Amino acid sequence: MLASRRFKLGRLKMLSFLDVLEQASDEAVSLYLPPGLPLQEIEGLINRLPIPAITIPDVVRVAADSYSGSVIFWGESRKYLVIPPFPAKDKFVSPNYDPEPLRSILNQDFTIALVLVRLGAYSIGICRSDEITLSKTGTGLVHARHKKGGSSQQRFQRRRDNQVHHFLSRVCGHLQEYLEPHRLSLDYLVYGGSRTTLEELRKLCPFLRQFEDRTLPPLLDIPKPRAVVLKSAVSEIWASSITEWYEEATD
């Protein structure tokens, strides 16, 4: 009976993981699935692999849910499904543990913009590979919500709405200043912070629309943006998510 576990590896640890995997000598197959494949096609390709029938639905579910495609390494001793940090480009099958296309993704020197925003704080970063080359962090006055009722609450809410608008307009201005010089060379953009705040920012800042086809899923579990948070967000962007299947010990 196969059990599974999930874990993440940063860029360097993932490259080491692939080096070890490549040295394995047992029979295996590698399947690369780019994003956007129809579910029926994903199911058909995975059904060709030597995966137990009871495990196939779990493998299909993880692969189909990925925004960046997936890579399956399935052998006698090692059974992994990897969600790469950036989209896999090509679909193909290899009759061994073949990490080279995935290694190629991790070795790319992508130019990435990070936009981290929560009400009252923001961080903007430009990264080359996994190194921050340019950054801007700042704050703005946005009062917490007023909990009392009546006309005073309405006045306070109008004042707060103006503060939010002013804050996000300032952030938009900084985004144009920092991203405009890189708009043609930018490979990806990643948002982080509060979902509702990011949605308001994107509505208020038309400049960001040009990057929609290069936008990766947002990082929503980050704390208040500051320099150290920006640095940890870069590591998160480059992390690969791995599901491993293994024989569960029985009594």
Q: From CA 167, how far away is CA 200, in angstroms rounded?
A: 11
Q: Do domains 2-108 and 111-237 have the same CATH topology?
A: no
pLDDT in tens, 117-131: 998 899 999 999 999
Give how far Cα 216 sits from Cα of 104, 150, 188, 229, Å: 19, 42, 7, 18
Q: How far is CA 98 from CA 17, 32, 110, 144, 211, in A?
A: 12, 10, 23, 52, 32
151-160 tens-digit pLDDT:
556 665 666 6
Whose CA is closest to 240, among 11, 4, 3? 11
CA–CA separation, 213 and 23 (whole Å) = 37
Q: What are phi and psi of 69, to 5 degrees?
A: 80, -170
What per-residue confidence (pLDDT) applies to 120? 86
Q: Tell me the CATH architecture of domain 2-108.
A: 2-Layer Sandwich (3.30)
What does the domain layout of the chain look like in residue ranges? 2-108, 111-237
Would you say residue 34 has pLDDT above 60? yes
| The predicted structure's pLDDT at residue 189 | 97
Q: Average of pLDDT values for 73-86?
A: 96
Do residues 211 and 189 lie in contact, with contact meaning Cβ atoms separated by under 8 Å? yes
Nearest to 168 by CA among 196, 144, 134: 196
The pLDDT, as a whole number, for residue 155 is 64
Q: What is the DSSP string of 61-89?
A: HHHHT-SS-EEEEEESS-EEEEE-SS---
Query: Of the candidates 180, 224, 172, which has an alpha carbon nearest to the alpha carbon of residue 200?
Result: 172
Pick from 209, 9, 237: which is nearest to 116 by CA?
Answer: 237
One-letter-per-residue 3-state SS of 146-168? CCCCCHHHHHHHHHHHHHHHHHH
Distance CA 107, CA 128 (A): 12
Question: What is the fold of 111-237?
Answer: Nucleotidyltransferase; domain 5 (3.30.420)
Instruction: Encode pLDDT of 158-186 as tens digits.
Output: 666 778 888 999 999 999 999 999 999 99
Rounded mean pLDDT of the chain? 91
| First-to-final CA distance of the chain | 12
